[in-house]
Structure formats: C-alpha cells, structure tokens
Amino acid sequence: MKTKNDSLDSYRFFDPDEAVKKIAYELYLNVKDLPIISPHGHVEARMLAADEPFPDPTELIIIPDHYVYRMLYSQGISMESLGIPSVDGTPVEKDHRKIWQIFGDNFYLFAGTPTGIWLTHEFSEVFGIKEKLNSKNALEVYDRIVEKLKLPSFRPLALFEKFGIEVLTTTDGPGDTLEYHKQLKKPGLKGRVIPCFRPDPVVNITSKEWKKKIDEMSNASGIDVASYASYIRALENRREYFKSLGAVSTDQGVESPYAHRLRAMEAEAIFTRALNEKATEEDARRFTANMLMEMARMSAEDGLVMQIHAGAMRNHNTKVFDRFGLDKGADNPLQTEYTRNMHELLNEFGNDPRFTVVVFTLDESTYSRELAPLAGHYPAMKLGAPWWFHDSIQGMTRFRHRATETAGIYNTVGFTDDTRAFMSIPARHDLARRMDSNFLADQVSRRMIDMDDARTLGRALAYELARKTYKL
Amino acid sequence: MKTKNDSLDSYRFFDPDEAVKKIAYELYLNVKDLPIISPHGHVEARMLAADEPFPDPTELIIIPDHYVYRMLYSQGISMESLGIPSVDGTPVEKDHRKIWQIFGDNFYLFAGTPTGIWLTHEFSEVFGIKEKLNSKNALEVYDRIVEKLKLPSFRPLALFEKFGIEVLTTTDGPGDTLEYHKQLKKPGLKGRVIPCFRPDPVVNITSKEWKKKIDEMSNASGIDVASYASYIRALENRREYFKSLGAVSTDQGVESPYAHRLRAMEAEAIFTRALNEKATEEDARRFTANMLMEMARMSAEDGLVMQIHAGAMRNHNTKVFDRFGLDKGADNPLQTEYTRNMHELLNEFGNDPRFTVVVFTLDESTYSRELAPLAGHYPAMKLGAPWWFHDSIQGMTRFRHRATETAGIYNTVGFTDDTRAFMSIPARHDLARRMDSNFLADQVSRRMIDMDDARTLGRALAYELARKTYKL
Amino acid sequence: MKTKNDSLDSYRFFDPDEAVKKIAYELYLNVKDLPIISPHGHVEARMLAADEPFPDPTELIIIPDHYVYRMLYSQGISMESLGIPSVDGTPVEKDHRKIWQIFGDNFYLFAGTPTGIWLTHEFSEVFGIKEKLNSKNALEVYDRIVEKLKLPSFRPLALFEKFGIEVLTTTDGPGDTLEYHKQLKKPGLKGRVIPCFRPDPVVNITSKEWKKKIDEMSNASGIDVASYASYIRALENRREYFKSLGAVSTDQGVESPYAHRLRAMEAEAIFTRALNEKATEEDARRFTANMLMEMARMSAEDGLVMQIHAGAMRNHNTKVFDRFGLDKGADNPLQTEYTRNMHELLNEFGNDPRFTVVVFTLDESTYSRELAPLAGHYPAMKLGAPWWFHDSIQGMTRFRHRATETAGIYNTVGFTDDTRAFMSIPARHDLARRMDSNFLADQVSRRMIDMDDARTLGRALAYELARKTYKL
C-alpha cells in the first residue's frame, strides 16, 4: 500500500530491527518457492473444473469475499450497493464498474488489515498493478484487470499451476456427488484438488434445510436414512466415497467443541424427533456432541483426519441473514472452552495412534491456556493455524508466541488459508511464510535456536507439517 | 522519572528501534498540537464554572484520584492517612503536607505505571518540576506547586485554554440541573464543556439511592414518575434537556452488556416492585437489560451517541465502601461477554444509520474475539478506547494490535481520557498520541502502510474520529 | 541449542535491538550472582538429606520431569518406552541408555521451548556439555554425564551450594513427619531447606486417598480427627509443627479459587458425609471453598503466607492416570475466575495487615483483567510468578507486560521455579533474571524508568521481593 508501489518491498512485514530482518529474509528465501499445500478451504471445485475466464474484477474480488464487504458495510455502505446477491428478491446493484468505484473510494479503510495486505499483493503480483487503489484510479485499474482476465494465462487452472499449488482442498457436503472433483482427475493437471467431508448440514438437526440434506445424503449413498442407525451407515458410506476421490480429512463447524457420546437409545430418540421436526435446541446440542464422538470414531477407523472449527455464532445479524443468506460476514466469535468440552473425546481417542484431530479456534485466550497444553500432551491432537480474523500479521505472531513454547512447532500443522478467494491464495501463503520466518528469525536472534534449526522448522511450517499431518 | 529530569525526552515511550523511533516522532509531531477532544470523562463542571484556585497539591493530585491511592493502599498505607474523606465519620488525616510526604516516600511504587508517567508529565510540563519525587524533595515540591497554584494562570479556566481543550465532556445524572454547564456558556471561553447523560442512578433499581434519584428526575423533568411509562417519558425529557445544553452522548455503566427488551407488562411490573422496594437482583438484571434496549431506541430517535462501559464489579471491597463510599479504587473487572449479550440490541439497532453505540471493555480478551469482529460488521457499533486499567503504554499497544486488523482504524473512536484528574488531561492525551504514533510507525517500518497513510490515520486517531463519531 | 555451542551466548534471550540488549545485559550482571530463593517447588527433602549420587542421566533428567516426557508423548512416543514407572504393573523400559537414545533422537522437538532452554543450560553449565543433543551424540553425552555424577562435587548438597541456593522450599502433606527436613538442619549447610504446608490431600474429600490421609494427619498431630472441629484443630497443629521446622507458607491447589465460609453445621455435615464416603462433588466444591476461608483465617493468625495455585484440571487423560498415576503431564488448564470467586476471602482478610495471599494462575487472560487490579488494591494480595506452562520467555514477558502497569512491581513476588527438576533450578532462575532484566531494559530504553530505578527493581525481582513476601 505504498503510494507509488513500484514493487513490493522484499523485506516487508518483518521486524523493524535490521538484524532480525536480515535473518527473516534469509529464512523466507528458504521457503518462498515451496509448493502450496492448502489442506482446508472453500474454493469451489466447479470453478476449477469449468476453467472458464473469471467474469470481471467485482465478481472476482468483491462479491464472493465477505472479508471485503463486511468492512465496507461496517462503514455504512449497503450490501445492496455492493451487488451482494439477495435471497429475498431485493434488487441489488448490477453495474460492476459502479461497485468497483465504491471499492476504490473506500480502499483506504483496509489500511493495516490483512485484507488490505492480501489485495495489495494480489494486485501487484497477479495483475501487475503497482499503484494503491483509490477513487481516481479505480476504473482504470478495473479495466486493466478486465484485460488480464481475458488472457488464457488468467484462467483458473493456469493460475492454479502458476500459483504452485500442490494440493487444494475444497469443502463439500454429505450429499455432494463430487462430479467436479472427478472431472479434475485429468492427467495434465499438476497438483491435486481433493474434497473434504463436512457433515454439518446433516448434523444440525434444527436447521430448516436438515431434512432436505438428509434426503440428498440418502440419494447419494443409496442408503435410505430412516433411523439413527441408517444415518450412521450413510455417513460412513459417504466418507468412503470421499476417500475414494482423494479426501484425507473431514471438518465440523460447531458453536462449542463439547463432545459426548449418547447412549444409542437417546441418539435414536433425538433423531426420530428431528425427523418429526420436534427436536429442541437442547436436542441439537446433545446430538452435535454425540456426532463429534461418532466422527472421531469413524476417523480412528477410516483414517480421515478430523478437523474441528469451533466458536462461531453464525448469522448474528438477522437482517443481513434474511436478505442475503449464509456466510455474509455476520458470523461472530464466541468464548470457547476446550479442556472440559473435549475431555471425553480426547480420553477415548486422544491416545489412539490411528487418530488425528486438528483443532481451530476463534478465541485466542485458549491458545496458551487450553489448546497448546492439550496438543502438547495428547498424541492425536494438533493445533490448526490461526483462523479467520486471526490470520493476520499480529494474529499469526500471537499464535506462535502463545502456542509454541508449550506445544512446540511439531504439534502444529503449518498454514491453512481457509479461503473462498482463489486469487488470494498466494498472498495468504506468502504472508504466512513471512510471518513464520520472522518468528523464527527473532528466536535465532535471541539465540533460542540456531540457523540450522530455523531452516528446518521453517520448511516444516511452510510445507512438511501439512503434508505429514494430512497424510498427503 | 529520570533522576535528573532536566526535560522530558522527546522520543520517550517509542520503540527502542531507531528507525521506528524516528518515524514515530515524525508522526507524533504531526498530531502533538492538535486540540484536545475529551468525549467522555469525570471532571466536574462546577470546578470549571467556579474557576477558583486549586486548594493545594494533596487536594489536587492525591485525594480525588483513586489511581493514585489504590496503589498506595495496596502497599499497606491506610486511606485514612492519605486524607481520603470517610462517609462513616472515621477521622482522617487533615495535614496535607504530611500526606504529601507519604506520597513522596512511596512515589517509587509508580515506576513503570501509567499513573507514574502521567504524574511525571504533569510535574514537568504543568508545574515545571523536573526532579523525580522522593522522600527528600517531597515538601519542597509541595511548596513549589503551592506557589504555582496561586497564580492566575493556574486557575481552572486558564489551564483549560492552555491545555488546548476544544471539547470537554462531563458525566451527569438524570436529576442534574446542569446549572454549571449553563454558567460555562460564556462568550470568552474557547472550547466547550458539555454534559453527558448517565441514567445509571435511576436504572439501578436495587440501589438504596434509587427512589431519591427518581424523585430528583421527577423534579428536574416536571414529570411525576409514578409508572414505567412516565419513567420513560421523564428520561426522554431529560435527554432533550441535556441535548439543549450541548450533550451529544449518553453513557451506561453496566456489569454485563446483556440487552433484552421486556414486554411492557413485565417492565411495568418490575418498576412497580422497585417503587415498593420489592425488586430482586434478577429484576434488576432484567430491567437493566431492558433499559439498554430503551436507551438504544431513544438514541436512534434523538441522535445522542450511546456509550456502554461494561464489566466492572463495583465496590468489591466492602470495608472500603462502608468507610469511604463509591469510586474509591475498589472496583474490579469481570469477564465480559458481548457477542451473545449484545445480539438483540445489535439486531434491532445495529443496522440503523441514525444510531451509534460506542462500546468499552475491561476484558482485553474480547478485543480480537468479540468487539473487533462486531465493530467490523455492524455499521452502528464503534470500539471505545482502551479503558481504565488498560489506558497505558502496553494496554494501548495491545488494543491497537488486537483490534485494528479486524475492525480497522475507522471503526474505533480515537482517545478517551475518562479522567477525574483535570491536571492529567494533557499528559493522557500526549501519551495516547505517542502510542498511536508508535503503532503506526511500526506499520510504516514493516511496509504495511506508507507515510501518507500513517499521517492521515494519526490525525484520525488524535482528533478526527472523536469529532466525527460524537458529531462535534 | 547452537550446533556448536562452545559457550552459551552472554546476551542470549535479550531483545534483538542492540541498545536494549546492552542495557539488559548490564542489568542482568547486577542480579546474576544473587543467591537463589526458591519459595515454592517440588524437590524432595529426602533426596537432599540422603545426599547420595544421582543414579544416571535418564533417572535424573527424563523420568521425573513431566515437562520432558509430555512433549515426547505428544509425538507418539509411549511413556512405557521412556521408563515412566507404571502403577498398574505394566512393564516399562528398564534400559536407561535406550531411553536416553530416544531422548536424543527427539531432542529437536524442544526447539524454542523453555524445557529446551533449561536443558541446554543444564548440559552446558552444570555438565560442561556444549554440543546440541542429537541421535549421534546421545550415548556419548550419556556417558559423560554418568562420569560427572560419580564425582563428589555432583552430589545433591554440593550442587545445592554450588547453585547458590539460600532457601529451597519443598511441598509437604499434612501427615508428613518432615524427618528429612530435620536431618537437613545440620550446621555445615549454607542455605536452608524448608517445608511448605499443602493440605490438599485432606481437603479433597472425594479423593480415594482422603481417609488414609486423614488417618496420617491424626497420627502426625496426635489429634484424633473424628469431626470437623478436631479436623480444624489437627490442621492448626500441623501448621504449627511445620512452622517450628522453618515453614513460612502454605499452598493449595484448587480447580477454582472460589472461597466461601460454610456455617459450622454445614461444614460438620459435609465432613461427616465424607467420613461415611457419601460426600458428593458439590459437597467437595463447597468444602474446598470453605477450607480456603479457613486456611486464610489460620494464616492471618499464625502468619504463614497463603499460596493459591488455581485452575488446573488434574488427570485429564484417564488412560495415563490409570497406568501411571498422578502428575504425569496430563493436567490441563481451565478458564479461571478470581474477581467474584475471591470476593469473600478478600473482603474478610484482604485488608488484614497480618495476612498475605500469593495467587498463581494458568489463565493469562486474568493477569490484566482480574489479578493485577485486585493485587493493585488489596494490601494482602500479591501476584505469583508466571506458572508452569507460562514460565517461559514469552510467558514471562506477557506477565510483566500485562500485570505491571496496574499492579506495579511491588505487588508481585519475584520468581518461583516450582520445579521437581533439581538440576534445572539455576537454569530457571537464570532465565527469569534475564527476562526481567530485558523487561526493565525495554522500559529504560523507552524512558519509562531510569537506570537507577531499573537496578533497584531488578534486585527486587531477583531476590528481595521473595525474601520480603515470604518473610525469609
């Protein structure tokens, strides 16, 4: 974000101290060009399989990215004016140049934010745009991106290879047929696109969509889900199917990581109430707790790595949800407890060598208090990368500072971009590699570790830990 | 606090790194002399309206400032010996020189604390005393301050102008007639003194003073408060009156920010129980939750900015409360939850362009987990400055590091001194401007932002955001 | 942990900034050779009294130290293979050279952890081993340590003196006869070994061992504990006995610091239920709360300093507990609340000049939110050093940054090593002295304090505060 941004500064984001900066840069050069492993994210396989040109800058950069428009919205810019599609029929802006102009007018709001840093990287390194976006140059920048997007080298798969992606993991529902993943199994493609099994739509028994999602899972699995027992069988069936297409992991997004096995009779009773649309919120809470136990059991058996993303209150803003639907930047973090909530799960599976659970949090106070001590003891538990709001310069630094001393580097899993914004993938991995290099450089400079250690740890963080943890 | 403190170091409090220090100083020079806006505090309008000489150093610096005597008390120095007035008739020390000597003997306790830093600034920049206070020089310093306080240039209004205060906000109860604010509307005074409406005394229905405060509000408003409906009308009336004397905001101090609208019948029933002195603690909790909703509604209608200061357990030390009364340094912070507690309030008013709510916390773990994500989405919500115990070098740094990446700078409101200690106002604003300059300098040095950005953001933090948020 | 570690770097662990580093080193030299006061720990008096050669490196360094083997266990290395003695008869590895080889193979896991730092110090400064431990040199290192351990200068008491220990505090149960402490009262020994009274075994009424421990206390005190009243008398008796052998403190390890005095009848009723093995978990919770009040009362009366270590969930991993017993690295921290929980205790005793309570936490979010504000007000309350997982470079830095501005230095108690690993004591105190020197150097460099202040504060943190708080 320099006024005249002729090229991004090679030493950017490192500590101001010259000695640390030099070491950080040396360590960064050691990992900068390693392939990208993205073990968890939300890019759509469909987009890659179709491999069509991206429509335009607004469609590419603003409309799919709630990181971008939540900031604009917070400053009083309506989501309608930003072209975010409504689900209730409210008309929204269709003129993408007009939307982009608003974005340019307000780009200054992103100063010092990770979104600002990623976008600046994306503009500069992907599109060759070195100026800071502003009101004056917004439409010119728009046009330059439009020109680029017409080029064959800017098609999704060409970028996929240019970005150096070795593995890209998508997130898919239990009823998903994974047809695009099949299409992507073509010989020419360097790098893999693999699915991840996310059962949430069939676990959230009080959601309006639940029965529809159960039906989809019945269809996909060929198992008529009419009871808790058949439900479990269908889940196991779908996991196998996902595995057959390369899946190495599952993921569950839960408000609380509370895990507790229900007796079969209770599970069945709740499931029946859910089928009859009579399940209560307390039923849902207990059922989710039970399904964390069941998913852990299945993982111990089939080897898929279990991921838990805990602590978001979804759809906090009802007005936004009613008009725009899910995932519109209105999910907000909650205090989260792991030591008690995961007690039963870790007791039953935490010592099991077949099992791996990667835990993510939005509650940074748990890094040093709960997550690092647990991961520093249970062989099955690993710490996920700083997630979502915390995937930032200060956020990543806090994570390393608070988790490493107790958990060590080897009980963490490297970087996870978790993004919907395909174009931002290189920027995110580059930032993570810079911050990890900087963290290690500080330790070298304090003589906590030496350069040999730092180089080894740097490669582990940038590449090897993800490969190893996710068995890639 | 240097032994021989010939002048305060111009580069004080900035990062040790020479490059950051230079940039920070440049940014600081850019904001150093901007007028002071104090949008929330506890200086008394009476003192300014009377404009009489301050009595003596002990009365000025020790007795009104619980930051000062809580530290002395924690080290076993009795509050009686410090002359803190008792409410139960216990005799307290009257010899102010003797009290000052105790202060000098123990000034070393403040090393590295914000109080120490503010006092050192105050001694040096207001009173021209460059030595570090100690046992030996205590009484000589006392005498030198006494001499200064006799000068016309040390009267309250002269200092008000010298300090460069553009707006000073007081905090006033619903029964307050604001006569001193009226007196302060004189033509000669540069800068404004405006009230802020704090309804707590008539909201805390289980407080012993409640009925007396209700009567005062009846008198002041001319509305006989005999029912919940008339109570609401009286509050609306008082808000209008405060507005007519320049008020731009309200403030509520609540243990929890839980907001929930009661049905009219329930509100009326609780109010009646309160009038009959039969309200329970649960009634009080629900009534306060309801009044957060009502005050938000009124703010949406009359445009006063709503402020919420949540999370203090008042009067933790019963012995101190019984002997010395309210606000004696024995309030202590509590864990605080915002995402769920403010859900209803933000759902109903958070998208309303007429409404602004500024939220303060004593629970730093909520900065990155709850407050920044909420403020980074809801247009109505802004983050208050680091409050009370956190208005310090490390506290301000933590706030910027944890809040900025998610909320950005523009969803915060600049600095709030929140002080009772009139003499400390320049010191507090100076420290805040230094720390914000330092924060921005670090970002410049890491190439997260450029100097143009930093200068703009620096002025926003020091002056413009407060002006804009509070519509001054 | 340098590859060729000819000597430890004198400037290690200080800030990278050269100016800070120089000041830190100067301050460190000022405290480096002060005697060690260890006011709380778990070294056994028996080992010192016997003064026999340490058996071998594995027995000395790996088997007793759960910091070491929890990290190895987390990476899938079984505790059996590390020779941790089982309590259920499971055979464990007996070949200590083989165990040491595993340790060498995996020593890289400790990079950047406090355990790694302490071990490196221990190898280098105690045993003269300058190489980084690895697979290749593991057995050679083993042999060199074996040789050293045969020397008279490596016997426990010789090392005790070499380490410069002035006071070493052990932790002892209510039934302990303290015979080894008596043996250690020999004229030749510089430095004292004193007991600390930890009543937990007779307070945890639902523990399986409780009745046995009550019987032991009956025997030791000569008071037949058959009622709550005689129980209290026996505790008072034991405290007196401990005092007579030099004890200056007590310690309680509690899941929550909730303190609440029960009426005598309720306490008696719960005690009776406990004797009849009918006490519930709620009984236990209330009884523990009551015993915090009672222990505080006794401390006010007999002058023993009360210590509270709150917030660990003990024996989180049932499989490990069943096979290996207590204290095997499977205790994990919990969210902890102090402001409300300690309200009654602080109200009753917090203003009492005869009483001192030192509070420790595993929940860092309480430093600035609860503990520093409480300690910065109540004369009786002091903040314990960063504990357990937080006794690390970043952990100590966070503690100073978060606690000092509100509590000041003088409401903290200096360093507490809390270790079972005798050999690590100098390493731990050296690290703490380095980090405190570094913290103060940063403040000097920012002109928050001057060098005179820093030297005074440095000595207070390294030595004087522990001496003063614990009345040594």
Q: Is the pLDDT of residue B302 over 80?
A: yes
Q: Is the pLDDT of residue A26 over 80?
A: yes
pLDDT one-digit tens code per residue, B99-142: 999 999 999 999 999 999 999 999 999 999 999 999 999 999 99
pLDDT one-digit tens code per residue, B363-409: 999 999 999 999 999 999 999 999 999 999 999 999 999 999 999 99
CA of A376 vs chain C CAs: smallest distance (Å): 5
End-to-end CA, chain A:
36
Give the bridge partners for A333, in sequence order. Answer: A312
Residue B186: the pLDDT is 79
Number of CB atoms found within 10 A of residue A282's CB: 9
Contact: C347, B317; criterion CB under 8 Å: yes
Contact: B71, C408; criterion CB under 8 Å: yes
Q: Which residues on chain A are in Cβ contact (under 8 Å) with C320? A: 351
Residue A201: the pLDDT is 98
Residue C4: the pLDDT is 45
CA distance B46 to B156: 11
Q: Which residues on chain C are in Cβ contact (under 8 Å) with A339? A: 313, 316, 332-334
**With the CA atoms of B113, B118, B123 and B124 taken in that order, what torsion angle do they form, in degrees rounded to the nearest 10?**
100
Residue A283: the pLDDT is 98
Residue C318: which of A347, A406, A453 has the nearest Cβ? Answer: A347
pLDDT one-digit tens code per residue, B227-286: 999 999 999 999 999 999 999 999 999 999 999 999 999 999 999 999 999 999 999 999
Residue C446 phi, psi (nearest 5): -90, 5
Residue A2: the pLDDT is 39
CA distance C347 to C4: 56
Residue A189: the pLDDT is 87
Residue A187: the pLDDT is 80
Q: Is the pLDDT of residue B153 over 80?
A: yes
Residue B7: the pLDDT is 63
Q: Which residues on chain C are in Cβ contact (under 8 Å) with A401? A: 394
Neighbours of chain C (3+ CB pairs under 8 A): A, B
Q: Which residues on chain B are in Cβ contact (under 8 Å) with C343? A: 313, 316
Q: Which parts of chain C register pLDDT below 70? A: 1-7
Q: Is the pLDDT of residue A202 over 90?
A: yes
Residue A1: the pLDDT is 36
Q: Does A348 touch chain C (CB under 8 A)?
A: no
Neighbours of chain B (3+ CB pairs under 8 A): A, C
CA nearest C329: which of C84, C153, C29, C81?
C84
Residue A3: the pLDDT is 40
| Residue B189 pLDDT grade (very low, low, confident, very high; cuts 50, 70, 90) | confident
CA nearest B267: which of B294, B246, B245, B236?
B294
Q: Write down the ipTM of this complex.
A: 0.97
Residue B5: the pLDDT is 46
Contact: B112, C409; criterion CB under 8 Å: yes
Residue A4: the pLDDT is 45
Q: Which of B68, B316, B364 to mutate to test the interface with C (most CBs of C within 10 A)?
A: B316
Contact: A377, C73; criterion CB under 8 Å: yes
Residue B4: the pLDDT is 45
Long-range contacts at C428-432 (CB < 8 A, ≥ 24 apart)? C428/C118, C428/C391, C429/C36, C429/C38, C429/C462, C430/C32, C430/C121, C431/C13, C431/C114, C431/C117, C431/C118, C431/C121, C431/C393, C431/C396, C432/C385, C432/C391, C432/C396, C432/C462
From residue A440, alpha-carbon distances to A166, B24, C65 in Å are 25, 26, 27
Contact: B401, A394; criterion CB under 8 Å: yes
Contact: C353, B76; criterion CB under 8 Å: yes
Mean pLDDT on B426-450: 98
CA of C1 vs chain A CAs: smallest distance (Å): 6
Contact: A368, C335; criterion CB under 8 Å: no
Q: Does C364 touch chain A (CB under 8 A)?
A: yes
Which residues of B, range 76-95, sit inside 8 Å of C by Cβ? 76
- What pTM value is reported for the model? 0.97
Q: Which residues on chain B are in Cβ contact (under 8 Å) with A329? A: 377
Q: Is the pLDDT of residue A165 over 70?
A: yes
Which residues of A, range 372-401, sit inside 8 Å of B by Cβ? 389-390, 392-395, 398
Q: Is the pLDDT of residue A6 over 70?
A: no
Residue C7: the pLDDT is 63
pLDDT one-digit tens code per residue, A227-262: 999 999 999 999 999 999 999 999 999 999 999 999
Contact: B339, A329; criterion CB under 8 Å: no
| Residue B8 pLDDT grade (very low, low, confident, very high; cuts 50, 70, 90) | confident
Residue B446: which of A14, A18, A319 has the nearest Cβ? Answer: A14
B/e letters for A343-357, b = 16+ CB within 10 Å, e = fewer, are: bbbbbbbbbbeebbb
Residue A188: the pLDDT is 82
Residue C463: the pLDDT is 98
Q: How many residues does chain C have?
A: 472
Q: Does B442 touch chain C (CB under 8 A)?
A: no
Residue A114: the pLDDT is 98
Question: Which residues does B425 contact at the CB level (< 8 Å), separation at least 6?
Answer: B36, B38, B41, B43, B163, B165, B168, B417, B419
How high is the mean pLDDT of chain B?
A: 97
| Residue A7 pLDDT grade (very low, low, confident, very high; cuts 50, 70, 90) | low
Q: Which of A22, A368, A444, A464 to mutate to test the interface with C (most CBs of C within 10 A)?
A: A368
Mean pLDDT on B345-362: 98
Q: Which residues on chain C are in Cβ contact (under 8 Å) with B112? A: 404-405, 408-409, 443, 448-449, 453, 457
